[in-house]
């Protein structure tokens, strides 16, 4: 179980002497084990920042983070990773000189047979064994790097996996494969928690719980059935809205006026 208690994250205002801006504003949230949680909301609402606070990439100004009963507010990224928290960045890094297979093995913490590596890649829609020997450098497209990072998360298999806009830059076919993968993990691994930051209807439809974040605060949260109608759901689907960054997807996206 992950418990966020009165979490605040402030940054200095550029040019201001002692002024600060609140990015996360007194946020409290509990995520039970085995739940599939989608965090959605308008761009700039603090979703990625919240994920970075949970992973320890940013340190909160105040408040606390407790994971399975252990206070991890000041724990390092490595400690949190060891405890079973994983984070897939909105914009993943490239690793020049690092082959895809090696990256998957580092994530898994052990040598992996090529067959298993291929299975992880297939789950994110990368279906060529040739990827294993590719370097995770500029020769890969943004969507490929994104999917390789998601594959490393699958290889790592953390207790709580946080994915930041996994849909960004991914083609429709790979997106189908990816949503199936998320659904499969959720249905078969009830000891695993999935947290996905997303604007996509198809991902939101998989959620047990939806959290709507705006201006660093939880505007609404609850079971999917309760929150979905508030997100602009109509008989004909969701209303369109702007994604954070251009994507190859042409699926309907939700309005995040929750």
Ligand X SMILES: Nc1ncnc2c1ncn2[C@@H]1O[C@H](COP(=O)(O)OP(=O)(O)O)[C@@H](O)[C@H]1O
Binding map of ligand X across residues 239-258, x = CB under 6 A, - = no contact: -----x--------------
Pairing mode, if any, of strands 237-238 and 233-234?
antiparallel
Q: Among 40, 48, 179, 198, which residue sits at the site for Mg ion (rule: CB under 5 A)?
A: 48
Q: Beta partners for 38?
A: 196, 210
Q: What is the distance between the alpha carbons of residues 28 and 144, in angstroms, rounded to a whole number?
A: 35
The smaller minimum CB distance to ligand X, of residues 61 and 244, is found at 244
- Contacts with Mg ion, 72-101, as mask; x by CB under 5 A: ------------------x-----------
Q: Tell whether the torsion through CA atoms of 162, 223, 182 and 67 is positive or negative.
A: positive
Nearer to ligand X, 37 or 49 (CB): 49
| Angstrom distance (rounded) from CA 12 to CA 232 | 35
Which residue, 34 or 63, has its beta carbon nearer to ligand X?
63
In angstroms, give the least distance from the CB of 31 to ligand X: 17
The mark string for 140-169 relative to ligand X (x by CB under 6 A, - otherwise) is: ------------------------------
Instruction: List, in sequence order, every residue forming a beta bridge with 162; answer none if it has no partner.
Output: 87, 195
Query: Near ligand X by CB under 6 A, which window of 46-54, 110-118, 136-144, 179-187?
Result: 46-54
Dihedral sign (CA 94, 97, 99, 104): negative
Which candidate, 36, 170, 112, places its Cα nearest to that of 120? 112
């Amino acid at each position: 179980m992950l418990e966020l208690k009165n979490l605040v994250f402030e940054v200095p205002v550029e040019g201001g002497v002692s002024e600060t801006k609140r990015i996360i504003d007194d946020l409290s949230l509990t995520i039970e084990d085995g739940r599939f949680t989608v965090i959605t909301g308008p761009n700039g609402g603090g979703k990625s920042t919240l994920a970075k606070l949970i992973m320890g990439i940013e340190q909160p100004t105040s408040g606390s983070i407790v994971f399975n009963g252990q206070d991890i507010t000041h724990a390092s990224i490595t400690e949190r990773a060891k405890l079973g928290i994983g984070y897939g960045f909105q914009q993943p890094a490239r690793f020049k000189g690092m082959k895809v297979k090696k990256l998957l093995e580092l994530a898994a913490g052990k040598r992996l047979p090529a067959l298993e590596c291929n299975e992880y890649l297939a789950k994110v829609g990368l279906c060529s064994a040739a990827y294993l020997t590719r370097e995770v450098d500029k020769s890969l497209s943004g969507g490929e790097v994104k999917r390789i990072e998601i594959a490393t998360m699958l290889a790592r298999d953390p207790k709580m996996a946080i994915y930041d806009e996994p849909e960004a830059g991914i083609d429709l076919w790979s997106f189908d494969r990816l949503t199936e993968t998320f659904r499969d993990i959720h249905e078969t691994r009830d000891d695993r928690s999935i947290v996905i930051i997303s604007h996509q209807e198809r991902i939101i439809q998989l959620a047990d719980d939806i959290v709507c974040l705006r201006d660093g605060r939880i505007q609404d949260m609850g079971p999917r059935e309760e929150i979905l109608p508030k997100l602009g759901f109509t008989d004909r689907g969701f209303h369109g809205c702007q994604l954070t960054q251009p994507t190859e997807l042409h699926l309907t996206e939700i309005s995040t006026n929750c």
